[in-house]
Structure 1
Amino acid sequence: MDNLPVEVIGNILSQLGAARDVVIASTSCRKWREAWRNHLHSLLFDSSDWPLYHDFPQYRLEILITQTIFQTRGLQRLSILMDDVDEFSAAPVVAWLLYTRDSLRELYYNVRTIPSVNILEKCGRHKLEVLALAHNSIIGVEPSYQRFPQLRSLLLTSVSISALDLSFLLNICPKLEVLKLINPDIAISDNHTTLELYSTSLKDVYMDAISMDKVILEGDHIEKLHLKDCTLEMFLLVGKGGLRILRIDDVSVLHFDIGENTENLEVVDASNFTIMWPKFYHIISKSPRLRYLRLWGGVFDDEDEVVDLEAVSVCFPRLKHLSLSYERDSVLHYGLPGSSCLENVAVLELGWTVINDLFIEWLSGLLERCPNLKKLIIYGAVSGAKTHDECNALARFTSSIVRLMRIHSQVEVLFEFE
């Protein structure tokens, strides 16, 4: 250890992360103290990591964090996550930000202060590349002078912000590639009832727990879009067709449109959603590169709607992974007309909540359509208490699966039961 360069020791301390561990390790000898002060890159203060954070009085905790930060030089990553701690005074928090902002690349900030601290004002126009804010407010974004020239990733969790300020915030981040909005409190005015987001650089967008009338997302380079636990009347994606990955999880939306240019789509994962299949299929049907399709726990808007697997096999010739699930008799929504095969499907995932003979017939038909299948995964729900009829149905199901697998012996079969 004596022969280790002080820069290497600084990297080791940076990997420890938690400030408490870094301070303890740095007391081992003079060389390690020097590494802490001059070559430490990362520092983490997390109230969930050390119980004593909750035992210190607020002023003592402020002094402790201040002394620790001010003994370092050139911090590149600073995490201050005080989720369950009393509100701090604004003055020391501002001092931390001003002391580190010239070298800081990543800031993870969850601190409640009195009065609130304007993070954009304190950290703008510097080298920041990653900014994650939680349980704070952003008020009065000024695109005329505020700027984050190097910011590439922005995460807002439970942050209060107006729709207009959020739009301005994207405008002052010319290199932003990743945007994550988790349970934001977005204020809508009478003049701005729509959330409109525009960025020429965005590539990855994640929206979680958003409830709004209308969201318009515009960007020519967006490759990944993930909507989760959202309630929307309209979602509109405007771009040049660069989207590759689309994930929709527990979303209710009346009108969903990602544009006509979907030829680059490779992954579509839609689960726990209400679907008008003809309209959704029209959106994704012009995606010849699609290799992963998952329709899981969907509720069909019309009882007569059918997912035409013949059309799926024709429109998605590169499809390798297919996942389908149904509840009760909704297996009827997945039709097997025609005779086209899913030639490239190697993994097939099927789910059900009620055992019946229709599922076996459907499974048998799908196996015939997938001549190159390598793996079959069946997800099911089995209740504890069983009636005599349910026990017989389970026995028939087991026997049918055994017979099918004798025919398709090249397929690996896995079962996942809840």
Structure 2
Amino acid sequence: MFTSGNNCCSQSSLGMEHLPVEVIGNILSWLRAARDVVIASTTCRKWREACRNHLHALSFNSNDWPVFHDLSTSTLEIIITQTIFQTTGLQCLSIFMDDVDEFSAAPVIAWLMYTRDTLRELHYNVRTSPNVNIIEKSSRQKLEVLALAHNSITGVEPSYQKFPCLKSLSLSYVSISALDLSDLLTACPKLEILALVNPDIAMSDAQATMELSSPSLKDLYVEAISLDKFLLEADSLEKLHLKDCPLECFELIGKGTLRVLKIDDVSVVHFDIGENTENLEVVDVSNFTMMWPKFCHMISKSSKLRRLRLWTVVFDDEDDEDNEDEVVQPHVDVETLSVFFPQLSHLSLSYDLRAEVLLYGLQGSSHLANLVVLELGWTVITDFFSEWVAGLLGRCPNLKKLVIYGVVSEAKTHEECHILASFTSSIVNLMRKYMHVEVQFEYE
């Protein structure tokens, strides 16, 4: 047995020894973390050669190795410089030093200039002193992915600072003016993915208005931006995700290519994604105040809609406060869903309404024939919740999975305990009728 094991080890070593140097370079690139790459490259001369000539990806991350936290800034700069300068064909470089206050500008410029002819991806999250204009140093090269954090971008010149290959741009906690951001998008004719996370956007006038335009943009993620008006012109946009954004007005001008719309914890007075919503497949709205009739009208042409999620939304229908005698209309009713969204397969609903409005939405005879997953939730459970669940189940003949989300407070009153016990009994009886439906409970 020991002989066989030794033979296996010998064969394994022999196999590693005969690996092409390019393959070894790919292995080192998969490791990516600088510490692991350096240790692995000391195996033998062949691995050192692979590290020098065939290493494509390298990452310096303070979370990968605790020792990084104990080193001085100047020592880190030397280590990064020496490691980068021992390579000749880096395509992906990532530098994330969480505990470093500031890097000196000179070594950062040296890293960028040394790798600029081969680099395809740059992820950079370290402050520099004085500030280094990463955009200026990285333009007119082969970059396809650029992710910047905690930096300042000033004086973008789209006629000079072009990014002919850039497809993905991420700016987090970056200081930039609205004009420079607009010019930066102009300098990226092939940009498809844009992420803006808590940027410090300087405005040229008193009104906080930002206008962006990109004919190639397909995916936009915006988080923690406060503006009076956000105007986006994007004819190819397929995915729009707004999160934690107080806005007065948001308008999307496009050609109806939007497929995914996500709104999470957004405050907006006027929201407009245009009339062409035929291609919408996913609508995910949470922590949002909406007027359902207007919102429903906006997406009513989305006959391809497969997923609809309205989670902890607040419905505001007070168009006319004086018209108190107006008949109460349903908010999310099955009839509307079945007519407008016949392909709907996943439905998630969680909102607080008066019982008469909640149950009024179950009127009619239409079914959600394609619905296979139903998620329902409450923040304050009432006696009518189980009746609502039963009503919806009866309208979903092909349902396969039901998930119920609830909030259970630690200090429950006697009435709350009674309602929860009654609801549990109702669900148990209900599931005896729908044995084919998988049921899950998620309580907070």
Spell out, residue by residue over 1:204-263, the C-alpha distance to the aligned partner (whole angstroms, 9 max, x if none): 000011111100111111000000111100000000000000000111111000000000
Q: Which shifted more, 278-287 or 259-268?
A: 278-287
Matched residue, 2:259: 244
Q: Is the 8 A contact 1:39 1:74 kept in 2?
A: yes
Distance 1:359 1:331, change over 3 A: farther
Map 1:310-329 onto structure 2 (within 5 A): 310-327=335-352, 329=354
Q: Which amino acid aligns with 2:352?
A: E
* In structure 1, C-alpha distance between the alignment counterparts of 2:417 and 2:132, rounded to whole Å: 63
* In structure 1, C-alpha distance between the alignment counterparts of 2:380 and 2:206, rounded to whole Å: 49
Matched residue, 2:102: 87
Deviation at 1:192, TM superposition (A): 7.1
Q: Is the 8 A contact 2:345 2:370 kept in 1?
A: yes
* In structure 2, C-alpha distance between the alignment counterparts of 1:88 and 1:414, rounded to whole Å: 50
* In structure 1, C-alpha distance between the alignment counterparts of 2:183 and 2:48, rounded to whole Å: 43
Matched residue, 1:180: 195
Spell out, residue by residue over 1:140-188, the C-alpha distance to the aligned partner (whole angstroms, 9 max, x if none): 1011211000000000000000001000000000000000000111111
Q: 1:342 aligns with which of 368, 377, 384?
A: 368
Q: Is the 8 A contact 2:207 2:228 kept in 1?
A: no
Distance 1:212 1:333, change over 3 A: farther
* In structure 2, C-alpha distance between the alignment counterparts of 1:224 and 1:12, rounded to whole Å: 34
Map 1:167-246 onto structure 2 (within 5 A): 167-190=182-205, 193-246=208-261
Q: Is the 8 A contact 2:358 2:388 kept in 1?
A: no
Q: 2:316 aligns with which of 286, 301, 304?
A: 301
Q: Is the 8 A contact 1:182 1:208 kept in 2?
A: yes
Spell out, residue by residue over 1:242-292, the C-alpha distance to the aligned partner (whole angstroms, 9 max, x if none): 000000011111100000000000000001111111111111111100010
Q: Which amino acid aligns with 2:347?
A: L
Q: 1:118 aligns with which of 130, 133, 140?
A: 133
Q: Is the 8 A contact 1:340 1:369 kept in 2?
A: yes
TM-score scaled to structure 2, two decimals? Answer: 0.91
Q: Is the 8 A contact 2:402 2:439 kept in 1?
A: yes
Matched residue, 2:427: 401
* In structure 2, C-alpha distance between the alignment counterparts of 1:325 and 1:79, rounded to whole Å: 41
Spell out, residue by residue over 1:6-65, the C-alpha distance to the aligned partner (whole angstroms, 9 max, x if none): 111111111111101111111111111111101000000112222222322222221111
TM-score scaled to structure 1, two decimals? Answer: 0.97
Q: Is residue 181 of structure 2 the alignment partner of residue 156 of structure 1?
A: no
Deviation at 1:309, TM superposition (A): 2.4
* In structure 2, C-alpha distance between the alignment counterparts of 1:83 and 1:141, rounded to whole Å: 27
Q: CA RMSD in A?
A: 1.5
Q: Which shifted more, 355-364 or 244-253?
A: 355-364
Q: Is the 8 A contact 1:356 1:393 kept in 2?
A: yes
Q: Is residue 84 of structure 2 the alignment partner of residue 69 of structure 1?
A: yes
Give the 3-state SS of the residue equivalent to 2:17 in structure 1.
coil
Distance 1:69 1:192, change over 3 A: farther
Q: Is the 8 A contact 1:270 1:296 kept in 2?
A: yes
Q: 2:276 aligns with which of 261, 268, 271?
A: 261
* In structure 1, C-alpha distance between the alignment counterparts of 2:225 and 2:113, rounded to whole Å: 33
Give the 3-state SS of the residue equivalent to 1:357 in structure 2.
coil
Matched residue, 1:358: 384
* In structure 1, C-alpha distance between the alignment counterparts of 2:310 and 2:334, rounded to whole Å: 12
Deviation at 1:331, TM superposition (A): 8.1
* In structure 1, C-alpha distance between the alignment counterparts of 2:356 and 2:367, rounded to whole Å: 19
Deviation at 1:407, TM superposition (A): 1.5
Q: Which amino acid aligns with 1:211?
A: S
Q: Which shifted more, 72-81 or 383-392?
A: 383-392
Q: Is the 8 A contact 2:334 2:367 kept in 1?
A: no
Deviation at 1:112, TM superposition (A): 1.3
Q: Is residue 29 of structure 2 the alignment partner of residue 35 of structure 1?
A: no
Consecutive unaligned residues of structure 1, counting only runs of 5 or more, are none
Map 1:95-106 onto structure 2 (within 5 A): 95-106=110-121
Give the 3-state SS of the residue equivalent to 1:143 in structure 2.
coil
* In structure 2, C-alpha distance between the alignment counterparts of 1:139 and 1:192, rounded to whole Å: 21
Give the 3-state SS of the residue equivalent to 1:196 in structure 2.
strand
* In structure 1, C-alpha distance between the alignment counterparts of 2:358 and 2:112, rounded to whole Å: 56
* In structure 2, C-alpha distance between the alignment counterparts of 1:47 and 1:129, rounded to whole Å: 25
Q: Which amino acid aligns with 1:363?
A: V
Matched residue, 1:379: 405
Number of aligned residues: 418
Q: Is the 8 A contact 1:331 1:359 kept in 2?
A: no
* In structure 2, C-alpha distance between the alignment counterparts of 1:402 and 1:259, rounded to whole Å: 45
Q: Which amino acid aligns with 1:405?
A: M
Distance 1:18 1:407, change over 3 A: same
Q: 1:46 aligns with which of 61, 65, 69?
A: 61
Q: Is the 8 A contact 2:355 2:384 kept in 1?
A: no
Deviation at 1:329, TM superposition (A): 4.3
Give the 3-state SS of the residue equivalent to 1:240 in structure 2.
coil
